[in-house]
Amino acid sequence: KYFRTIIWYGLTPFPLHIIRDGEEERCIEQTVQALLITYSLFLQFNDDSVADNDVTVDNDAAANDSTVNNGNLNSDSNSISDIDLWENIYDPTTFYVGNTDDLNVYHYKDLIIKVYGEDPVPDNFMQEDKINQIYKEAEKLPEPKIKQKWISERSPVGKQFRFMGQRYIPDSEILQELVAPPERAMPKGLDVMGVLGSDRAYDILINKYQENKVWPGYPEKFSQLKDKFSKIPADEWRSNMYYGWLWVLKSIISPFKEGFPSFMLNEAWVDKSLDTALGSWAQLRHDTILYGKQSGAECGGPDYPLVKSYVEPNVEVYDRLLWLTKYSRLNLSNKGILSKDMEFRMGNFEELLEFLKECSIKELRNEELTDSEYYRLFDYGAKLETLTSNLADEWLRWFEITSETDKNMAVIADVHTVPGEYLEVGVGPAHHIYVVVPIGGKLYLARGAVFSYYEFISKNRLTDEEWQKMLKENKQPPQPEWMKNYMDGPKEELPVPKEPFISPC
């Protein structure tokens, strides 16, 4: 019910204008409805249940969408007003994903005060001179950054009020700007990675998919977007959890220089890193699909033999992940929406990231890890499962409150829509990767796991259950062609070790 309600609040428009028969037409009825919704939300009641028409609130909250009024708006400090309830949802989700892309209750509250005063009478909302004034003031309000390239009366574009609007997310702007129906109606995940800084992504787009021939204006538009996003300051990349996640992905697709292990300097590894970033991005879109605007190892057992392990020494990734985890933990704790147990486990994850960073630095210095570090790396999978399977609550076990679908890493999300078709991005089961790594002056063949990224056009929006069934029945579409650069051989089950051992984590 929550999912459906938030989606409805996020997608239902109250436009200022619509295009009918090629002409722009005012939507006065919907505009007045938006004014009434805003008025009702900020309406206060006195102790005797008599309405107080004063809609003024904290000026900072009124003037700035990114500022949330944390004060109690009622005269009775022990009660919770409607705007408080609204902000109890909006504030945390703003920290997660960002601000609404469309006009919201703060914008329309500001309109009401400017046109009708601080003690408005709803009966006057339809007065022609006041409506004209509303439209004049609305011209000063910001346009949405993410606009559909096709227009219909049912899906208007341009300035519009949404009660709990979907949020502006930068990758949706990239996807939206890099389509030009009908020449290029569907974007690609590579568009996002290219604009975020991956030269390899752009190389594939031009030389493999020949997007410059599909849409001659593509290179110029791509260049404009890449220039725009390259100028985003560091503090903006760290302004909320969504931006922070993309900031981490930027470090994954950054090229490595001399001094790194040789396996990290070839094109196959560049493509593998691109796959990793795309897989993580697909998970990000899946986890924020409600808010973002479109376009097994158990513990206990005997000791085990020492197995040498190797950490991909991408120090920058661990640094940024560490910042994002600390940033999330501190802010969620300050907002009072993080349990003590959850805070403890996030602290454990920070310790794990510090450890991976330390191992990476030693590897880059050609220093071999200690036996205790090898033992700890061997327990890495068990440690991750312990952290993720107990995040719900200290009194509830993960398996008691999640479905089999939730426990499966395969997820899917639609990120772009054209009439009758959806661009789906997702991940399947992890792929195994084999890498020749230097350890103690010798070369070893190491085996690890990487994302399996999928991207395809579907006639229907797919759920995780439907996607996982497709994978189970081997009916999934092929992965992007360019990934064959670092893939070889058919999918096979890995053999069980002759002498299996159990981790006593």
In terms of average pLDDT, the best of 35-44, 132-141, 412-421 is 132-141
Alpha carbon distance 309, 449 (integer Å): 13
> Which is nearest to 175 in space by CA: 145, 134, 135?
145
Residue 192 — very low, low, confident or very high, per pLDDT cuts 50/70/90? very high
Q: Which residues of 470-486 are buried (b: 16+ CB within 10 A; e: fewer)?
A: bbeeeebeebbebbebb
Alpha carbon distance 90, 335 (integer Å): 12
pLDDT digits (tens, 9 = 90+) for 421-459: 999 999 999 999 999 999 988 999 999 999 999 999 999
Backbone phi, then psi, for 175, in 5-degree steps?
-60, -40
Residues 195 and 225: beta-carbon distance below 8 Å: yes
Its pTM stands at 0.82
The predicted pLDDT at position 390 comes to 55
For residue 182, say if its preceding peptide bond is cis, omega within 30 degrees of 0: yes
Alpha carbon distance 228, 174 (integer Å): 11
pLDDT digits (tens, 9 = 90+) for 67-76: 333 333 333 4
Alpha carbon distance 451, 277 (integer Å): 9
Q: Residue 46 pLDDT more than 50?
A: no
Two structure tokens written together for 167: 């949020």
In the chain, % of residues over pLDDT 70: 82
Q: Residue 245 pLDDT more than 80?
A: yes
Q: Which residues of 72-96 are buried (b: 16+ CB within 10 A; e: fewer)?
A: ebbeeeeeebbbeebbeebebbbbb
Two structure tokens written together for 176: 């939206």
Alpha carbon distance 342, 390 (integer Å): 8
In the chain, % of residues over pLDDT 90: 66
Residue 83 — very low, low, confident or very high, per pLDDT cuts 50/70/90? very high
Two structure tokens written together for 478: 């092929």
DSSP assignment letter at 205: I
The predicted pLDDT at position 243 comes to 96
Mean pLDDT of 150-178: 85
